[in-house]
Amino acid sequence: MRNAFKISFVLSALSLAAVGLASSRAAAPIPITFWHYVGQESGSRIIADFAREFNASQAQYAVKVVEPGDFKTMQIKLQAALASKGEVPNLVQIDNSFFTRLAVGGALNDLSSSVKALPKATLDDYDPTFWEYGDVAGKRYGLPWAGSTLVQFYNVDAFRQKGLAAPRTWDEYVKAARALTSRSAKGAIFFTDGWVFASMVSSRGGDILDAQKRPDFDSDKAMQSLQMMYDLSKGGQAIVRSFSEANFAVIDWVRTKAFLVTLPTSAYSVVKGSISFQVGAVPMPGKTLAGESQLVIPRGNSSEETAGAVAFWSYLTRPEITARFAKATYYLPVRQSAKKLLGDFANDPVMKAGLEALGNAYNPPRLNLYNDWRGVLEAQLERSLKGGVDPKAALTEAQRQALLLK
């Protein structure tokens, strides 16, 4: 009888332990891996803070932050993860130029139903330009987060010494670049980047695509834009840098080897702590491209993982979180209400110029080949501005190569 009681007691204890273990397992948070490329120190730190705060605020999900590299490295690593059919990240920051290819190619989860579950007041609060880009053929694949616009950064001290005003037209840009050039410094820095060049063309009232959304790289407005930079470069008034030379451009700017450069607002946080001169910023003239990124959920994620990724995105874009992110990184707020929370920071020259530019910005086209076309264009820009090839010949070749792509 006593042995039977002991056996019964042991079985009951084991049963309770099993129930407790099952309960513990059921209560374990679902891991959510978040890949981003906001690599500067301030951005890395605040995103890690956001993940910790989100994890502490609820018990259903546990976000882990990973930084694979810059946006081009991110593309390569994400493609490799998708091709291997192995473990993919749950939430990824992806550059707008690459976003459409992933969406059209079936590489991303459709988030339409997740978005529809959000309150209308919340949806209406997202900036329309940043919100609109994540929709492809009537389905929601991208979630706005780190948005930016191109602005003209200039060295206020150098401009003041020369009696120059902030350049709000291309004629003023050229005038400033020439006036600021000396034996020891160039007036401007130009990146052979498709986003910058496309914006230069559209700022003149043109487009790098025609009415049928095909490449129009050798249009009059494109020719004018490249010729301007070619003349400045050939005349010794501009430093030309490719994307791979971005770090050298930062050194050029910080060491006052040049005084005028076109970059996204988010670039400022990288150099802000190293600058000894007063920085000014104005929008590029006319209509320009909005940019940066979307957050996406790659295919292969379960419904539970998708829900967790969307929950973390919702947290990241809370108005107060969005405002903190903007102040730390100079990414523009993607929520209208967050702009009101910026306070005095809204009058920071870089943030003010970025928000002004956003009011006249448009999105790049959501075309499967757009990223490939951009690569062809950038190669020919570099060939002209660094290799001395005539602008017309370079853009004609870019047009020819782009039309061959399928």
Confidence of residue 340 (pLDDT cuts 50, 70, 90): very high
- Give the whole-angstrom CA distance, residue 369 versus residue 240: 26
Residue recorded with tokens 């009101």: 340
Return the DSSP state at 299. T
Which percentage of the chain shows pLDDT scores above 70?
A: 93
Using a 10 angstrom Cβ sphere, with 0-12 exposed, 13-18 middle and 19 or more buried, the burial of residue 45 is exposed
Q: What's the token pair of residue 406?
A: 């399928």
Q: Is 155 helix (H, G, I), strand (E, B) or coil?
A: strand
User: Which residue type sits at 354?
Assistant: G
Whether 15 shows a pLDDT value over 60: the answer reads: no
Cβ count within 10 A of residue 73:
13
Confidence of residue 250 (pLDDT cuts 50, 70, 90): confident
Cβ count within 10 A of residue 82:
18
pLDDT at 41: 63
> Looking at the whole model, is its pTM more than 0.85?
yes
Across 233-258, average pLDDT: 88
pLDDT at 17: 46
Region of residue 237 (phi > 0: left; psi between -120 and 50: alpha; otherwise: beta): alpha
pLDDT at 19: 47
pLDDT tens readout for residues 350-391: 999 999 999 999 998 888 899 899 999 999 999 999 999 999
pLDDT at 25: 52
User: Nearest CA to 227 among 238, 216, 243?
Assistant: 238
pLDDT tens readout for residues 121-143: 999 999 999 999 999 989 999 99
Give 95's strand partners. Answer: 293
User: Nearest CA to 126 among 334, 326, 359, 318?
Assistant: 334
pLDDT tens readout for residues 139-169: 999 999 999 999 999 999 999 999 999 999 9
CB 298 within 8 A of CB 304: no
pLDDT tens readout for residues 191-213: 999 999 999 999 999 999 999 99
- Average pLDDT score, the chain: 91
For the chain, give percent helix, strand, coil, nearest 5.
55, 15, 30
Q: What's the token pair of residue 339?
A: 């702009």
Q: Is 95 helix (H, G, I), strand (E, B) or coil?
A: strand
Which percentage of the chain shows pLDDT scores above 90?
A: 77
Confidence of residue 40 (pLDDT cuts 50, 70, 90): low
pLDDT tens readout for residues 49-62: 999 999 999 999 99
CB 99 within 8 A of CB 296: yes
Whether 67 shows a pLDDT value over 80: the answer reads: yes
Q: What's the token pair of residue 381?
A: 């820009």
- Give the whole-angstrom CA distance, residue 195 versus residue 96: 10
Q: What's the token pair of residue 33?
A: 């891996």
* Of 12-21, 91-100, 324-333, 339-348, minimum mean pLDDT range: 12-21
Confidence of residue 26 (pLDDT cuts 50, 70, 90): low
Kind of pairing between the strands at 30-35 and 91-95: parallel
Q: Taking the mean position of all CA atoms in its chain, how far away is CA 49?
A: 20
Across 265-289, average pLDDT: 90
pLDDT tens readout for residues 284-323: 999 999 987 899 999 999 999 999 999 999 999 999 999 9
Sequence-ordered list of residues with C-beta below 8 angstroms from that of 39, at least 6 positions apart, any chain: 67, 69, 70
CB 373 within 8 A of CB 215: yes
CB 213 within 8 A of CB 365: yes
Whether 10 shows a pLDDT value over 50: the answer reads: no
Q: Is 46 helix (H, G, I), strand (E, B) or coil?
A: helix
- Give the whole-angstrom CA distance, residue 9 versus residue 105: 59
pLDDT at 395: 98
pLDDT at 247: 74
First-residue to last-residue Cα distance in the chain? 83
Confidence of residue 27 (pLDDT cuts 50, 70, 90): low
